[in-house]
Amino acid sequence: MSTFYFYIINAATLIVVGSVGYIGSETPSITALIPVFAGIVLLLFIKGMKAGNKSIAHKVVVITFLTLIALFKPLDGAISRNDPAATIRVLLMILTGIVAMAAFIKSFIDARKNRKAL
């Protein structure tokens, strides 16, 4: 499966799952929308990612990594509140972020090997 598909799945998960969490919250906070905004920003880079633009790919990796790191605080909060639904939502976003990061890293390694082979 192409790195591009993991990128799309991650962005869509951030938008959909983040929105569900915000809408379903009894006390919604604007900070709960951070994953949604990150997913939207990632989707703004879709054309460049599809074209294989290296600069955009690096920006996407940075945004994905920062979002992934930022999700650990909400995970801690969900676990502390003993909120299984929120815990599952955040873990799902973290999981897709980890898979996307792994795909990006593999893609970068493969590109480097291909350059050396030429």
Q: What pLDDT sits at residue 26?
A: 85
| Helix axes 54-70 and 3-24, enclosed angle (nearest 10) | 40
Instruction: Please determine, for residue 25, whether its predicted confidence score (pLDDT) is greater than 90.
Output: no
Instruction: Count other C-beta atoms under 10 Å from residue 86's C-beta.
Output: 19
User: CB–CB of 14/36 below 8 Å?
Assistant: yes
Helices (H), 1-118: 3-24, 34-44, 46-51, 54-70, 72-80, 84-117
Q: What pLDDT sits at residue 113?
A: 87
Whether this model's pTM surpasses 0.85: yes
Structural domain boundaries of the chain?
A: 3-117
Give tens-digit pLDDT for 43-92: 999 999 888 898 999 999 999 999 999 999 999 999 999 999 999 999 99
